[in-house]
Amino acid sequence: MVLLKNLQPPTEGVRHEQAETTAVMDGQRLGCGTLYVAETRLSWFDSSGLGFSLEYPSIGLHAISRDVSAYPQEHLYVMVNGKLNSEKAADDDDDDHDGSSDEIRFVPSDKAALESMFSAMCECQALHPDPEDDDSDNDFEGEEYDVEEAEHGHADIPTFYTCDEGLSALTQEGQATLERLEGMLAQSVAQQYHMAGVRTEETKAEFEDGMEVDTAAMEAGQFEDADVEHW
């Protein structure tokens, strides 16, 4: 048995409202009612005020089914993750072994409305992204995080940037330090030509790395006399 709750239909942010829509849950006809596609959730209520609502994160898939031979009427198919009721868990035979999914079909009397019902649901799904994200797909987000961490850090300028993108993500402090160091490098480079002459390219690469940034800042002045090999 499906447990229908007496809830209020959503009043705000209703993207689409479809009256005379029959809901079929796992093969069980719930009767004729009104489907509300709201920005907060998806709801359906029959004439007596009983109905159910679905949170968008629980909706795994929705689709328009048009093949009359498969199902007698064109309808909106919705696949829901997880169980709607814990009671059903014991009874249901049709489920997959993994991830339990429930199927709901919304059969509107107006078939032409299926497209707009579908589109409204797509839009609302986009409003409810999943909170858990193992990886950040957006490179943009990744870079922003790094900059934030850099700002919170001490004089420890982000030391890990080896590629070009890293340079652009340096904080203002980092940029200033980089410029200062490059100036100092230019001075010591001139001297190195006299002394070793070979290491210039390597040292420049190391500066980009940023690893040596802090220590180099302090010791660069000392290098006028000392060995180049500290680099």
Partner 1 sequence: FKSLVGKDVVVELKNDLSICGTLHSVDQYLNIKLTDISVTDPEKYPHMLSVKNCFIRGSVVRYVQLPADEVDTQLLQDAARKEAMQQKQ
Q: Is 4 or 59 the residue whose CB approaches partner 1 more closely?
A: 59
Report whether 128 contacts 154 (CB < 8 A).
no
Using CB under 8 A, which of 7, 50, 54, 79 touches partner 1? 79
Please tell me whether residue 126 binds partner 1 under the rule CB under 8 A: yes
Q: Based on CB atoms, which residue is closest to partner 1, 128 or 204? A: 128
- Site membership for partner 1, residue 184 (CB under 8 A): no
Question: Of the two residues 109 and 119, which places its CB atom closer to partner 1 in the complex?
Answer: 119
Question: Restricting to residues 11-40, which ones interact with partner 1 according to CB under 8 A?
Answer: none
Residue 96 lies near partner 1 (rule: CB under 8 A) = yes
Q: Answer for the pair 188, 200: CB distance below 8 angstroms, yes or no.
A: no
H or E stretch including 29?
strand 28-38
Determine, following the binding rule CB under 8 A, whether residue 93 of this chain makes contact with partner 1. no
Number of residues that bind partner 1 (CB under 8 A): 45
Of residues 81 and 85, the one with the C-beta less far from partner 1: 81
* Closest to 17 in 3D by CA, of 117, 119, 126: 117
Number of helices (H), then strands (E), in the chain: 7, 8
CA 105 – CA 74 distance, rounded (Å) = 10
3-state class (DSSP) for residue 102: strand
142 binds partner 1 (CB under 8 A): yes
In angstroms, the CA 33 to CA 6 distance is: 13
- For partner 1, the binding residue among 40, 53, 100, 200 (CB under 8 A) is 100
d(CA 85, CA 106): 19
Q: With 0-12 CB in 10 A as exposed, 13-18 as middle and 19+ as buried, what is 163?
A: exposed
Q: Does residue 209 touch partner 1 according to CB under 8 A? A: no
Residues that bind partner 1 (CB under 8 A): 57, 59-67, 69-71, 77, 79, 81, 94, 96-101, 103, 118, 121-122, 125-126, 129-130, 132, 135-139, 142-143, 146, 158, 160-161, 163, 165
